[in-house]
Amino acid sequence: MKILIIEDDPMVRLINHKFLDRITQLASATVTECESAVAALDLADLDEYALILLDMYLPQVSGTEFLAELLKRQLHPQVIMMTAANDQQTLKEAVNYGVLDFLIKPFSFDRFEQAIAKFTRLQVVDDKHTVSQTDLDSLFQGATATMQPETSHDLPKGLAKLSLQRIVQTLRQFDSEFSNQDVADQTGLSRVSTKKYVDFLTEIGFLGSRIVYQNSGRPLTKFRVDGQGEATLNEYLS
What would the pLDDT profile of 9-34 be if each residue is shown by its tens digit? 999 999 999 999 999 889 899 999 99
Angle 82-84-90 from CA coordinates, rounded to 5°: 80
The 10s digit of each residue's pLDDT in 147-204 is 444 444 788 888 888 889 999 999 999 999 999 999 999 999 999 999 999 999 998 8
For residue 128, pLDDT over 80 is answered with no
The chain-wide mean pLDDT, for the chain, equals: 85
List the one residue out of 185, 214, 188, 183 whose CA is nearest residue 199.
183
Task: Give the model's pLDDT for residue 132.
Answer: 56
Contact call for residues 77 and 57 (beta carbons, < 8 A): no
33 sits in which H/E element: strand 30-34
Task: Give the model's pLDDT for residue 126.
Answer: 56
Query: How many other C-beta atoms can be found within 10 angstroms of the C-beta atom of residue 59?
Result: 10
For residue 89, pLDDT over 80 is answered with no
Higher-pLDDT residue of 130 and 201 is: 201
For residue 140, pLDDT over 80 is answered with no
Contact call for residues 66 and 37 (beta carbons, < 8 A): yes
Task: Give the model's pLDDT for residue 178.
Answer: 95
Strand 219-225 to strand 49-55: parallel, antiparallel, or no bridges (unpaired)?
A: unpaired
